[in-house]
Structure 1
Amino acid sequence: MNKALALLLALWPLAATGARATDRPSPAKVEAPLGAPLQPLQRVEDYRVILKTCSAAGKQRVAVREMRVGGEKLLLTVDPQTLAASLEYADGSDCSEAQGTSRFLELVDHYAADMGKQPSAGATWLENAGLKHGRGEGAYLTGDLCPSRKPLDRAFLQSLEKPGEAAPVALAVSGLWLTHHPADFAWLRREKAEGRLAITFVNHSYSHPYRPGLPDGQNFLLEPGLDKDREVLDLERLLIANGETPSVFFRFPGLISDREWMATLRRDHLIPLGSDAWLAVSPAKPPGGAILLVHANGNEPFGLNRFDSLRQKGELPKPFRPINEAP
């Protein structure tokens, strides 16, 4: 490591702590240089769920998390209309306990109440609960990054890119994928920073457990003994520690959940994200407004091949749209 990089790492946490709130940029930014090692989630301390209405830089936002990074107190906030998430300095925001409701909170309640499909009479678990189909025409492309020994399918993502235009894609990231693929994650961040991909990072749980052979009602996040807070909040901490901002969306591993998990997402102010077009398993031609699901982690080449085939035949709804426009 050269001296310049060592100095940059030492100055990572944020802006100088002596700066006045009015001198600080909005949104706040946790520095994480692209060439630096992956940072541990413990960099983000005192992380907890809140619900406040805040005014920062002249804009009204809903604060859903508070935390401390490098001695600075930060808020994770959401634009109640556009659903865009950003970090703000707590001492630069005027906040009070949330009163009433907003479009954002109404959407959380609405989609957390969608129980999806109960696969059999008396089943306690759910399939594909939450937001499954988007508004309007076009399609919403989502790619899951479950834990995998295989590399990121960069060629697939590059195939979406167009000169002078950032291609929108929502990537559902698991914590174990991120920690085992730091170079791929750095590549994603670079594609985003340089304007080739407009990535929305979706929470796909921290550990994304899966045990072959177990029934779905005892598998994925329904595995007994899981710590729900760790699965939801530690993935958010890991993204923030490494310079990115988690979105308001959560995708269940395997699209499998239950009522208790849906209540957890409501409590944490998250929108469950399903799909009406999981291309590897759905034979139907995707309709306008489809939420497309593929795996870009190397584990599901059939889904990527089907995407390419549908695209070549002109059978994918266009244009691809940001996932924030779906609800």
Structure 2
Amino acid sequence: MKQHIIGRTGALGLASALLAIAAAASAQGVVSPAPERIVAKAPAADPPPPMRVQNYRPVFQECHDAGKRRLLAIRAMSVEARRKLLVVDPTSLATSLADEVDLTCADTNDAAQKDTRFMAAIAASAQASGHASTAQPSVLQNAGLSHGAGEGSFITGDLCPSRKPLDRAFLQGIEALGPATPVSLSISGLWLKRHGADFQWLLHEARAGALAITWVNHSFHHPYVPGRPLSKNFLLTPGVDIQAEILDTEQILIANGQTPSVFFRFPGLISDAATMDAVRGDHLVTLGADGWLVFMPPLRPGAILLVHANGNEPEGLRLFSKLLGQGRLPRPFRPILEAP
């Protein structure tokens, strides 16, 4: 697939808008990297092999480190036979991997943590149900956090499974706005498995300080069948194990040395009540978008911009560059952790 259904099939009635945008943007190029862009040595030809991650499972615990800092553990696992926890700072929403032995933890629950910014963000995104499909009322479209707080906007790029290479030129254009330009990449497990060189390039750019990447969970398989009704498509496909789609993506990120964030974006921005409950139950914030460029600007401050950097949406990337050059995208670009 391998784009969201809104841009591919006109499920939201935007096919004509997309065609108009493609025509208007056809003469526009991506943002050219500025000469001062951070340049680092090319990534190593042979990256380290993935780490062994086992017994990966959801938990919910309140933990304290040696400095009495409060953290919330949402996953437990072993990494190379060392017991680890994926923990969230309940105020900043930042995630990290911690050695279990370094923390003092006890089981907790949603009610006990309801006053934290973390739980408030989860609850708000779960209640933001987007809008129901006219033809299929049980289907939710663009549910979750679709607009951020404050000024500026938030760049998010989806990495759905694709046969095409990563659009590095577009990302280099983003880097020209930096250093450490914040960008959230919604990554599918299959994209990571099939695009090892592109993934290593992204890590190289982040280590060089050119990009500040937040990894958003975009499911592992990102199922999609053209022409199939939405109620039986994407993660609503019969037989899909929603929790496996969530956990397997987190696990492959960790195996490759990266830390998953607290955000989850549904493939196609398509969900229903049951899948929304599953994401909430795994203590993740559902991420939508109010600035998918096919919606046409002007965009409001706080816009969550959505483009595809997986090679499948050149028109959207050109339009982004055009709007950026015209000063029509809300600035500054901010980390997605500041959106809820």
| Same fold? TM cut 0.5 | yes
The 1:232/1:163 distance shift into structure 2, 3 A limit, reads closer
Aligned to 2:319: 306
Residue equivalent to 1:24: none
Is 1:256 aligned with 2:270? Answer: yes
Partner of 2:164: 150
Identify the match of residue 218 of structure 1 among 227, 232, 246. Answer: 232
Tell me the CA shift for residue 122 of structure 1: 6.1
Counterpart residue number, 1:242: 256
- Identity over aligned residues, as a percent? 53
Alignment pair present for 1:169 and 2:183: yes
Question: Which residue does 2:63 correspond to in 1?
Answer: 54
- Report the more deviating stretch, 256-265 or 53-62: 53-62
The equivalent of 1:18 in structure 2 is none
Q: How many residues align?
A: 292
Q: Structure 1 residues 133 and 163, CA, compared in 2 at 3 Å: closer, same or farther?
A: closer
CA contact (8 A) 1:221 1:252 kept: yes
C-alpha displacement at 1:57, in angstroms? 4.3
Counterpart contact for 2:124–2:145, Cα < 8 Å: no
For 2:144 and 2:326, locate their aligned partners in 1 and report how far apart those are by CA, in whole Å: 30
The answer to whether the 8 Å contact 1:45/1:68 transfers is yes
Which whole-Å deviations, capped at 9, do the CAs of 1:156-207 have from their partners, x for residues lacking one?
1111114872010000000111100000000001111111100000000000
Which range moved further: 121-130 or 251-260?
Answer: 121-130
Q: Secondary structure at the match of 2:63?
A: strand
Letter in 1 for 2:195: H
Decide which of 64, 69, 76 is 1:66's aligned counterpart: 76
Deviates more, 1:158-167 or 1:311-320: 158-167
Residue 252 of structure 1 aligns to which amino acid in structure 2? F
Q: Could you report, residue by residue, the CA deviation over 1:33-69 in whole angstroms, capped at 9, with x for unpaired residues?
A: 88325527xx211111010011124221100000011
Aligned to 1:108: 122
Unaligned runs of 5+ in 1: 1-32
Query: For 1:286-315, what per-residue CA distance to the aligned partner results, in whole angstroms no more than 9, with x for missing partners?
Result: 111000000000001111011011011110
CA distance in 2, matches of 1:162, 1:38: 31
Question: Structure 2 vs 1, CA of residues 267 and 163 (structure 1 numbering), >3 Å: closer, same or farther?
Answer: closer
The secondary structure found in structure 1 opposite 2:202 is helix
RMSD of the TM alignment (CA)?
1.5
Distance 1:282 1:57, change over 3 A: farther
Alignment correspondent of 1:36: 47
> Given the alignment, which residue of 303, 315, 319 partners 2:328?
315
Alpha-carbon distance in structure 2 between the residues aligned to 1:122 and 1:180? 34
Displacement over 6 Å in runs of 4+: none
- Residues 96, 123 of structure 1: alpha-carbon distance in 2 compared, 3 angstrom cutoff: same
Of 67-76 and 102-111, deviating more is: 102-111
Relative to structure 1, is the Cα distance of residues 286 and 63 closer, same or farther in structure 2, using a 3 angstrom cutoff? same
| CA distances 1:64-115 after superposition (whole Å, capped 9, x unpaired) | 0000111100000000011000000001101112261122012112211221
Q: Is the 8 A contact 1:34 1:190 kept in 2?
A: no
Structure 2: tracts of 5 or more residues without a match: 1-43
| Residue aligning to 2:41 | none
SS at match of 1:151: coil
**1:199 maps to which residue?**
213
Q: Distance in 2 between matches of 1:325 and 1:163?
A: 19
**Contact preservation (8 Å) 1:34, 1:186:** no
Map 1:18-29 to 2 at 5 A: none
Look up the match of 1:82: 92
Q: Distance in 2 between matches of 1:195 and 1:303?
A: 25
- TM-score with structure 2 length normalisation? 0.83
Q: Does 1:229 align with 2:243?
A: yes
Cα 1:34/1:321, change in 2 over 3 Å: farther
Deviates more, 1:159-168 or 1:173-182: 159-168
Tell me the equivalent position of 1:30: none
- Determine the C-alpha separation between the residues in 2 that align with 1:48 and 1:291: 30
Distance across 2 between alignment mates of 1:56 and 1:249: 24
Contact 1:161/1:167 (<8 A) preserved: yes
Give the drift of 1:126. 0.3
Listed one character per residue, the Cα deviations across residues 111-131 of structure 1 (whole Å, up to 9, x for unaligned) are 112211002276111000000
Select the structure with the greater relative contact order (CA < 8 A; seq sep ≥ 6): 2
CA distance in 2, matches of 1:325, 1:109: 16
Q: 2:193 aligns with which of 160, 173, 179?
A: 179
Q: Is the 8 A contact 1:142 1:171 kept in 2?
A: yes
